[in-house]
Structure 1
């Protein structure tokens, strides 16, 4: 098996985590890291002297790496991924894939033309608990799905380059699309900037589907509690996925409400089931999929097309916010 050589662009918070997981894969290693912060690279050179470092990304692109991981701010994703593909490198880009639909479409076309893997870091698609939830949805055990609700809130981390929608919502939008395998028809958005003007830190997204299912996503940098929760409501069962509770990540509730012959709603209260989850670090599974896709020549689970669909929803939400800002319509109560 050929040894794969990886380069990492961006040695901030996420770059080292991806590198750690890549280095655990068989016949794979990170050989080059690029970052514009010379101090970070100096520390890396002390701790891992076998890794080449560069302050100019062109040095990494011209190196012998087979694939490039881009763990940099969203505004840089398109240019860096495009340059990497033009140098015939396979590419894994952190979420979201790009800052616009047109950029994502161009990268997908370029990857196909160059016969390179283009993957996006939708880590939750590799989360064992999310995959257990997907099995429940796909099997029909939950019955007809009424709604999907996601809450991803905490105090911080505030960003000054993107709003909370582009920062946090990609996680829950990717989970939504992965669970149900269908696209929404309509989207409504409410968002507010409290701490920094013109950078929304609290947002609510409502998505409607052709079959009547709806989804609500709440993201916030301005909340006293850390909540990472997804709830799926079916007419047979309900499920809660709580990412902050490792011991009980998935809870299946045999609960529901029905209207039969008479107009009175009857309620059902049954047992709560907590399935066992065989845990493997999602980022490890993501990196494994990236490496296997390069070796076998197949699309990874979180391929560029999936990233594009997430960007479509984010861009639609952003367009709505811009229209709302221009109209500035207020209805007196």
Structure 2
């Protein structure tokens, strides 16, 4: 059997750790909370290791991701690159684009990716799905799912993303297709921009309709799936005892005098083999890895659920008032006065402030801060952990790599000789700002130039030519007046950073190199 490492020992991860340990395949665990990691490692007698160590080790064949949802895509991609099979808790990712990246990486690596849609492995749902496939309910007409409780409240994602993936997975499994139309309505009570209650309607080309009602603001717990066919009805109620979890009703509709009348029948309990669904899910993953089988909830199934989640989220946005259009999405937040066009990708942890506008086709990475009155795009590219202060426009053709800082009111141009009366969009020139660069307040960057890694453009400077890595430039036109290190401090005459003590040197070509590591820090243009 494969040797498995579980990444995350928290609210749900501890259950995965327990099950893989019982199956005799748990080789290691990881968790960002040291006390929790030590306790879980002691209880299950396995090493607690950093994620990087686990991914780099050939000892572990597969990893199980119980990390926060905004990290699913990043960690899954790293694991696949390291040659691991991957079990990822729901949802597969927070965007369809990230889900497709995982799918492509899985194909290239030739590894199993399974999504933790737990209820697909519940004995009651497995039996229900088989009954529907065998025609026990006749032609399916509609499916209704309720997942209700008081809590667990979240502030990173709305109730639909938190609770509905399981229901959507079951509905898609019964319908045998993706819906052709998705509509959703949500209501916010605890937080003015995070829905606490949502109702979603799915319409399928084969005539099946489905309804999903989820709430974490409900007086009692309800987890119920109702399936109605023209020859019978079934109810999967996970709150009931095992001998009552799945029941069939042979109700009929008879016509008397041209009026439909119900012909009721007693509930018929369906015998089930009692088993923990999570244990069955974990065993299924191991069998798929060992035998090279395709999981029931494979990457394609995970992507199908993700597409419905995205469609429903778009429907929630459409039905909301315009000022609420930019409300927090799964993993990122925006002030209600910000405006986000369609076809904009935003990474988890990013915050967008007042009156900013993100235009279509743009991409903003993870953990960025977008200040007030910022315009991005169309088709601009912003890396991870960038900080863009107030009153900045990042035009089409501008690309910021990771960790770039843009000071207030700095300016990017996009053509060299603009005229209001002459259309010159075909003459836009690319401006590439490399990793770690800083641009000061009111500086101007003339298009077509590259700013090297970790360079520093002083406030008010006008950049008219490429800036070398680690160069400190100032003036109009900007000229190099010194060097800066990774920490942004100006290096002393011996090329030592006064903040960190890190030593640098100049190579034969005049590029800054790390004197300790002895490799060039400047990347070739």
TM-score class, shorter: over 0.9
1:267 shift after superposition? 2.0
Alignment of 1:43 onto 2:64: no
Alpha-carbon distance in structure 1 between the residues aligned to 2:26 and 2:120: 23
1:175 shift after superposition? 0.7
Alpha-carbon distance in structure 2 between the residues aligned to 1:23 and 1:239: 35
Alignment of 1:243 onto 2:243: no
User: CA offsets, 1:233-288, max 9 Å, x none?
Assistant: 1121111110000230011111132447x421132122321111111211111111
Alpha-carbon distance in structure 1 between the residues aligned to 2:40 and 2:168: 34
Alpha-carbon distance in structure 2 between the residues aligned to 1:313 and 1:297: 28
- Pick closer, same or farther for the CA change 1:146–1:163 going to 2, 3 Å: same
TM-score (norm 2): 0.60
**Correspondence for 1:102:** 97
CA contact (8 A) 1:251 1:274 kept: yes
Alpha-carbon distance in structure 2 between the residues aligned to 1:190 and 1:287: 34
1:23 to 21, 27, 32: 21
Matches within 5 A, 1:51-200: 51-54=46-49, 56-63=50-57, 64-200=59-195
**Correspondence for 1:33:** 29
Alpha-carbon distance in structure 2 between the residues aligned to 1:197 and 1:153: 20
- SS of the equivalent of 1:318 reads helix
- Pick closer, same or farther for the CA change 1:45–1:125 going to 2, 3 Å: closer
Alpha-carbon distance in structure 1 between the residues aligned to 2:18 and 2:46: 12
Between stretches 14-23 and 165-174, larger displacement belongs to 14-23
CA contact (8 A) 2:29 2:41 kept: no
Q: Which runs of 5+ in 1 are unaligned?
A: none
CA contact (8 A) 2:7 2:65 kept: yes
Alpha-carbon distance in structure 2 between the residues aligned to 1:206 and 1:258: 28
TM-score (norm 1): 0.93
Larger-gyration structure (1/2): 2
Alignment of 1:263 onto 2:261: no
CA contact (8 A) 2:185 2:315 kept: no
User: CA offsets, 1:158-185, max 9 Å, x none?
Assistant: 0111111111100100011112212211
2:197 to 191, 195, 202: 202
CA contact (8 A) 1:138 1:180 kept: no
RMSD, aligned CA: 1.6
- SS of the equivalent of 1:288 reads helix
CA contact (8 A) 2:92 2:306 kept: yes
**Correspondence for 1:14:** 12
- SS of the equivalent of 1:289 reads helix
**Correspondence for 1:233:** 228
User: CA offsets, 1:56-82, max 9 Å, x none?
Assistant: 421221122110000021111000100
Alpha-carbon distance in structure 2 between the residues aligned to 1:258 and 1:73: 51
Structure with higher helix content: 1
Matches within 5 A, 1:296-315: 296-315=291-310
1:44 shift after superposition? 2.1
Q: Which runs of 5+ in 2 are unaligned?
A: 325-525
**Correspondence for 1:293:** 288
User: CA offsets, 1:278-332, max 9 Å, x none?
Assistant: 1121111111111111111121111111000000000111112223335479xxx
Alpha-carbon distance in structure 1 between the residues aligned to 2:133 and 2:2: 35
CA contact (8 A) 1:154 1:227 kept: yes
- SS of the equivalent of 1:168 reads helix
Alpha-carbon distance in structure 1 between the residues aligned to 2:17 and 2:210: 34
**Corresponding residue pairs, total:** 322
Alpha-carbon distance in structure 1 between the residues aligned to 2:12 and 2:218: 23
Alpha-carbon distance in structure 1 between the residues aligned to 2:46 and 2:265: 56
- SS of the equivalent of 1:199 reads coil
- Pick closer, same or farther for the CA change 1:145–1:258 going to 2, 3 Å: farther
1:23 shift after superposition? 2.2
Alpha-carbon distance in structure 1 between the residues aligned to 2:234 and 2:8: 37
CA contact (8 A) 1:252 1:272 kept: yes
- SS of the equivalent of 2:222 reads strand
1:24 shift after superposition? 2.6
Alignment of 1:319 onto 2:314: yes
CA contact (8 A) 1:137 1:180 kept: no
User: CA offsets, 1:134-153, max 9 Å, x none?
Assistant: 12211112122221000000
1:157 shift after superposition? 0.3
CA contact (8 A) 1:142 1:238 kept: yes
1:210 shift after superposition? 1.2
